[in-house]
A and B are shown apart, each in its own frame.
Chain A
Amino acid sequence: MSDPAVGPKLAASFGLSAEEYARAVKIIGRTPNLTELGIFSVMWSEHCSYKSSKTWLRRLPTTGPHVICGPGENAGVIDIGEGQAAIFKMESHNHPSFIEPYQGAATGVGGILRDVFTMGARPIANLNALRFGSPDHPKTRHLVAGVVAGIGGYGNCVGVPTVGGECNFHPSYNGNILVNAMTVGIADKNRIFYSAAAGPGNPVIYVGAKTGRDGIHGATMASAEFSDDSEEKRPTVQVGDPFTEKLLIEACLELMEGDAIVAIQDMGAAGLTSSSVEMAGKGGLGLELDLDRVPVREQGMTPYEIMLSESQERMLMILKPGSEATARAVFEKWELDFARIGRVTETGRLVLRMNGKVAADMPIEPLVTQAPLYDRPWVPAATPRDLGAEEIEAREPIAVLKTLLACPDLASKRWIWEQYDHLVMGRTVQRPGGDAAVVMLPDGKRALALVTDCTPRYCQADPKRGGAQAVAETWRNLTAVGATPLAITDNMNFGNPERPEIMGQFAQCIEGMREACLALDYPVVSGNVSLYNETNGKGILPTPAIGGVGLLDDAAKSVSLALKRAGETLLLIGGTKGHLGASLYLREVLGREDGAPPPVDLAAERRNGDFLREELKAGRVSACHDLADGGLLVALAEMAMAAGIGAAIECPPGLAAHAFLFGEDQGRYLIATAAPDVVKANAHKAGVPVIALGMTGGDQLTVKGAGAISVVELKRLNEAWLPSYMEG
């Protein structure tokens, strides 16, 4: 079989525009061969180059006193004190998960784990953010089942607890589900490993699984829209082996205890190509690789296939001279392939040899620095106006509550998270289902709080408010369990950036996120962009999923949302205007998706959260829940259901009951306390709005003047939807 003729036409089929192809020819100084064209096309794919998004991503705040390493490495690194660092990132596996949900989701988990342990961290928790199409869509059930089993199948086997996540349903995801996976790891602050190659002559080592023909051009596939024939792209989806990953984690961490490694990078999207180009590019050096030495799974693989394969569970390392034997012994103990495949050079070129011939010879620096960068045209979204409560029909509160608790977005996700081992390692303090997960650190004293969140319908209605809200909500979630929020990772999921209205959503979400990050001292340290989430020209809701990480000095002082005992006072922290635009009340009860989302007052957000955190630390709060989707009454019901304890509340005068009970005003928390007078006095001092709503106790939820419902009945409704849906 001879290679196809290289030219603009083949380049176009690899996803390179005519202008991009011309640029590649200019860089290399001749017509590239097939392997070289393949390398250009994956390195310049949206997925690897961030060519449409980089201009905007640069606007995000990425520094802070505790940031050790911001975006650009395999994952972000923050200082968590006592000589330790938290290393984390979130990454999408949307396109593959739609085509093959089990393997797509599983390899998404595998990839993000590698990004974290590559840097020297022991992974201690996984989270995810999932979006599926309408429950009525014929594919949704199959996709939910496959994705959840894939995430569980991989995470459970590697022995990293999956402690949190979120899951929404909306018709805009019918043809493009979102599978975003996040891993958090812990390392000694002075034992962090980076990817920049150094030391000409140093050996380049390949470790892990063998290279096969799976996932070739996966990064390109992930950078294009879907059409009706996307199922034919199944061969571009990789196949995961969590057992090999587990061995790779242990082997890498064992080797990292010594000083053999100069640089290390996982082979993720675009496999050996991106890992070798990025390592050499960051070090300003060249690499010579002998592809005959790459461990392969199949006979007769071509240089093109070896360089573009996305086979999983592989890493590339540059070792110090003389440490090869030590490193080999570690990998052989763990029964993993270990091959010296090349060396670092001073030429600045990537030279590949196979079968005695030069398979590619290209400059690395321009491949990276002259990658296309687009300032794509954008138009601001037409933002709807704020709706007044009087424009929105009032319905009977208890009936509304029953509808909301059983709607797909608010129904219990127990069916999902019970398929994830969320307890392995024995350090899970707060499990899935609360505001944020809490995982004890190995010191047995401190803990990290972890969360993922985004409200896509807000981002659709007003991308800037939605972007700010997503960041603020994770900050609030972390605060609600008692943690000090430290930093975020972002996973930007959008449609086709070549459409100005989609680029407008992207740009404005970034602006909102930027404002929130600045106001909350909550920088972005890592992230991932997934564009072209479109099928036949229809995009998803803009979905900037945020993963937040916070720190608790004392794991034993984290507070959960479950009510603890009868006879405590319920206090609402933060101001309520009764904002119903873009609310779940509108969508689920009245069938409307109009109106502006709630404004995010970042100064109030910060003031309210900083105040509440001190009350939590002082032990004056027994239960705490942030108010979000569905508003106050849903939050109270969730606190009651988690405990099997009821409550009775009264709406204050001045606001319509439906606006008070179901409005989604931001920056608010509902707490239970045995010391209401102290908390109220402190709130007044801090300038934080606070009102007493009622008391905990009994086995019913009662709203004065609107009736009551048993907590058992609410729990039944809330727990029933997902299992019965999945049973079909």
Chain B
Amino acid sequence: MQSAIIVFPGSNREQDVFDALHRASGRKPLTVWHRDSELPKADLIVIPGGFAYGDYLRCGAMAAHSPIMREVKARAAAGTPVLGICNGFQIITEAGLLPGALLTNKTLRFHCRNVHLRVETSQTVFTSRYAEGQVIDVPVAHHDGNYFADEATLDRLEGEGRIAFRYCGPDGTLGEEANANGSARAIAGIFNETKTVLGLMPHPEDATHPLQGSLDGVGFFEGLVEALA
């Protein structure tokens, strides 16, 4: 699997996802500078975490209008899987690849900690190595991860099986305590209609090495490699 990581000024978790993809696929991802309007051929496009353009105006808003994003949208429309992690989720949401918005955490503070996620579906290229209902332990690190969408959109996402992950307790139960950023329906990640675009706030890439404290992100990347090889 050849993946391409888009780097914006202010991206800062590109190395983390680079390492995770490299470990899973044995192949170095390509890194693409945002001003390149040519996107190399790739089986997976990744928009990494960070603070693209300093999060000025609104998280992801300026990056969403970067020239490279036109090409990313075209590839997504043609079916190339696109993964947006954290700031990447904010960017692809601002770019209209996914519905809704990421608001400031309900605590108004930045949260960096490991959380439990419930895998809501295993029927996608991103989650095929997990079982539906499986609980995984991965970190979050964000200030604006409070997913918001109107009720009709949320109903549609649920109805179409487009919720990828929800924040939960260690046993998989939902509750206010587990949903620390206040996301609507405890949503941590969602898909587009074809389930080839995934945006999520947590960082599975930081749970892929034995010394990172959890290996629950390994399945995420190995599943992608298997599906897209």
Q: Which residues of A are at the interface with B, using a C-beta cutoff of 8 A?
A: 149, 152-153, 156-159, 241-244, 246-247, 334-335, 417-426, 428-429, 431, 440, 555-556
Given contacts A156-B51, A157-B12, A426-B19, 4 further A-B contacts (CB under 8 A): A242-B51, A247-B9, A334-B9, A428-B212
Residues of A within 8 A of B210 (CB): 556
Report if A418-B211 is in contact (Cβ < 8 Å); known contacts: A424-B13, A425-B16, A426-B205. Answer: no
Q: Is the CB of B209 closer than 8 A to any CB of chain A? A: yes
Query: Does B76 make an interface contact (CB < 8 A)?
Result: no
In the complex, residue of chain A having the shortest beta-carbon distance to the beta carbon of B49? A424
Measured between beta carbons, the chain A residues less than 8 angstroms from B19 are: 426
B15 within 8 A of A: yes
A218 to B95, CA, bound (A): 42
Query: Please, could you name 12 A-B residue pairs with CB atoms under 8 Å apart, sorted by A?
Result: A157-B10, A157-B54, A159-B12, A159-B50, A242-B51, A246-B12, A423-B112, A423-B203, A423-B212, A424-B141, A426-B20, A428-B212
Structural contact, A243 and B141, CB atoms closer than 8 A: no
Is A556's CB under 8 angstroms from B51's CB? no
Chain A contacts for B139, CB-based, 8 A: 423
Q: Are B113 and A418 in contact (CB under 8 A)?
A: yes
Contacts of A334 in B (CB 8 A): 9
Question: B135-194: which residues lie under 8 A (CB-CB) from chain A?
Answer: 139, 141, 143
In whole angstroms, what is the CA distance A431 to B16 when docked?
17
B112 engages A157 (CB within 8 Å): no
Q: Contacts of B56 on A, CB cut-off 8 Å?
A: 243
Q: For residue A156, which residues in chain B have a CB less than 8 angstroms away from its CB?
A: 51, 110, 112, 141, 143
Contact A426 B209 (CB under 8 A): yes
Contact with A along B195-228 (1 / 0, CB 8 A): 0000000010110011111000000000000000
B132 is an interface residue with CB less than 8 A from chain A: no
Determine whether the beta carbon of A426 is less than 8 Å from that of B16: yes
**Chain A min CB distance to B161 (Å):** 30
Chain A residue, CB-CB nearest to B20:
A426
A429 touches B211 (CB 8 A): yes
In this complex, what residue of A is CB-closest to B211?
A429
Q: Please give, as numbers and ranges, the residues of chain B lying within 8 Å of A422 by CB-CB distance.
A: 112
The interface bits of chain B over 16-55 (1 if a CB of A lies within 8 angstroms of the residue's CB, else 0) are 1001100000000000000000000000000001110111
The closest CB in chain B to the CB of A160 belongs to B12
The reply to whether the CB of B106 lies closer than 8 angstroms to some CB of chain A is no
Q: Does B109 contact A (CB under 8 A)?
A: yes
Given contacts A156-B141, A242-B51, A243-B53, contact A426 B212 (CB under 8 A): yes
CB distance from A483 to the nearest CB of B (A): 15
Asked if B111 is at the interface of the complex by the 8 Å CB criterion, the answer is: yes
Instruction: Tell me whether B13 and A159 are in contact (CB under 8 A).
Output: yes
- Could you tell me if A246 and B51 are in contact, using CB atoms closer than 8 angstroms? yes
* Least CB distance, A336 to chain B, in whole angstroms: 10
* Selected contact of B110 from candidates A243, A335, A421, A425, CB within 8 Å: A421
Tell me the chain B residues, 96-140 only, with Cβ under 8 Å from chain A.
109-113, 139
Q: In the docked arrangement, what's the CA distance between A246 and B55, Å?
A: 13
Closest residue to A555 on the B side, CB-wise?
Answer: B211
Q: How far is the CB of A251 from chain B (nearest CB, A)?
A: 10
> Given the known A-B contacts A157-B10, A243-B56, A429-B211, are A421 and B51 also in contact in the complex, defined by CB atoms under 8 Å?
no
Interface footprint category on B: 20 to 34
Chain A residue nearest in CB terms to B54: A243
Instruction: Give the docked Cα–Cα distance between A244 and B9 (Å).
Output: 9
In angstroms, how far is the closest chain B Cβ from the Cβ of A406?
21
- Residues on B with beta carbons closer than 8 Å to the beta carbon of A431: 213
Taking CB as reference atom, which chain A residue is nearest B14? Answer: A159
Bound CA–CA A424/B15 (angstroms): 9
Please report the C-alpha to C-alpha distance between residue A431 and residue B213 in the assembled complex, in whole angstroms. Answer: 10
Question: Which residues from B are CB-within-8-Å of A425?
Answer: 15-16
Which A residue's beta carbon lies closest to that of B203?
A423
- The answer for the CA separation of A423 and B204 in the assembled complex, in Å, is 12
Q: How far is the CB of A719 from chain B (nearest CB, A)?
A: 13
Q: A425 vs B211: C-alpha distance in the bound complex, in angstroms?
A: 13
In the assembly, what is the distance between CA of A244 and CA of B210, in Å?
Answer: 34
* Min C-beta distance of B182 to chain A, whole Å: 16
Q: In whole angstroms, how far apart are the Cα atoms of A555 and B213 in the complex?
A: 13
Contacts of B110 in A (CB 8 A): 149, 152-153, 156, 418-421
- Please, which residues of chain A bring their CB within 8 A of the CB of B16? 424-426
Contacts of B49 in A (CB 8 A): 424
B112 and A243 form a contact (CB under 8 A): no
Q: Measured between alpha carbons, how far is A241 from B51 in the docked complex, in Å?
A: 12
Q: Which of B9, B13, B109, B113 contacts A246 (CB 8 A)?
A: B9
Of A242, A426, A428, A429, the residue contacting B54 (CB under 8 A) is A242
- Shortest CB-to-CB span from A90 to chain B, Å, is 22
Q: Please, how many angstroms separate the alpha-carbon atoms of A678 and B19 in the complex?
A: 40
Task: Collect the chain B residues with CB atoms within 8 Å of residue A244's CB.
Answer: 54
Is A335 in contact with B9, judged by CB distance below 8 angstroms? Answer: yes
Q: Are A157 and B51 in contact (CB under 8 A)?
A: yes
Q: How far is the CA of A241 from the CA of B55 in the complex (A)?
A: 11
Q: Specify the chain B residue showing the minimal Cβ separation from A145.
A: B109
Whether B12 lies near A243 (C-beta < 8 A) is: no
Contacts of A424 in B (CB 8 A): 12-13, 16, 49, 141
Contacts of A159 in B (CB 8 A): 12-13, 50-51
- CB pair A421–B211 under 8 Å, yes or no, is no
Residues on A with beta carbons closer than 8 Å to the beta carbon of B51: 156-157, 159, 242-243, 246
Taking a contact as CB atoms under 8 Å apart, the answer to whether B141 and A423 are in contact is: yes
B111 contacts which chain A residues (CB < 8 A)? 418-419
Which residue of chain B is the closest to A420 with respect to CB atoms? B112
Choose from A149, A243, A423, A555 the contact partner of B9 (Cβ within 8 Å): A243
> Smallest CB–CB gap between A253 and chain B, Å?
13
Q: Min CB distance, A484 to chain B, in Å? A: 19
Nearest chain A residue, comparing its CB with the CB of B33: A333
Which residue of A has the minimal Cβ distance to B112?
A421
Closest residue of chain B to A152 (Cβ to Cβ) is B110
Rounded to whole Å, the gap between the CB of B51 and the closest CB of chain A is 4
CA distance A335 to B12 in the complex (A): 17
In the complex the two chains form, is A419's CB within 8 Å of B53's CB? no
**Shortest Cβ distance from B46 into chain A, in angstroms?**
14
Q: Could you tell me if B53 and A421 are in contact, using CB atoms closer than 8 angstroms?
A: no
A425 and B212 CA atoms in complex are apart in Å by 11
**Which B residue sits closest to A157, measured CB to CB?**
B51
CB contacts (< 8 Å) of B113 on chain A: these are 418
Complex Cα distance, B110 from A417, in Å, reads: 10
Q: Is the CB of B9 within 8 A of A556?
A: no
Instruction: Provide the bound-state CA to CA distance between A573 and B63, in Å.
Output: 55
Question: Measured between C-beta atoms, what is the minimum distance from B61 to chain A in Å?
Answer: 14
Which chain B residues lie closer than 8 Å to A555 at the CB level?
Answer: 211
Q: How far is the CB of B7 from chain A (nearest CB, A)?
A: 9
A-B pairs, top 7 by smallest CB distance, nearest first, are A159-B12, A243-B54, A426-B16, A157-B51, A421-B141, A429-B211, A419-B110
**CB-based nearest A residue for B13:** A424
Shortest CB–CB separation between residue B21 and chain A, in angstroms?
A: 12
A236: shortest Cβ distance to chain B, in Å?
24
A156 to B10, CA, bound (A): 11
B111's nearest neighbour on chain A, judged by CB, is A418
Residues of B with C-beta under 8 A to A241: 54
In the bound complex, residues from chain B placing their C-beta under 8 Å from that of A556 are: 210-211
The CA-CA distance from A429 to B212 in the complex, in Å, is 6
Q: Is B206's CB under 8 angstroms from A419's CB? A: no
Q: Could you tell me the distance in whole angstroms from the C-beta of A102 to the nearest C-beta in chain B?
A: 13
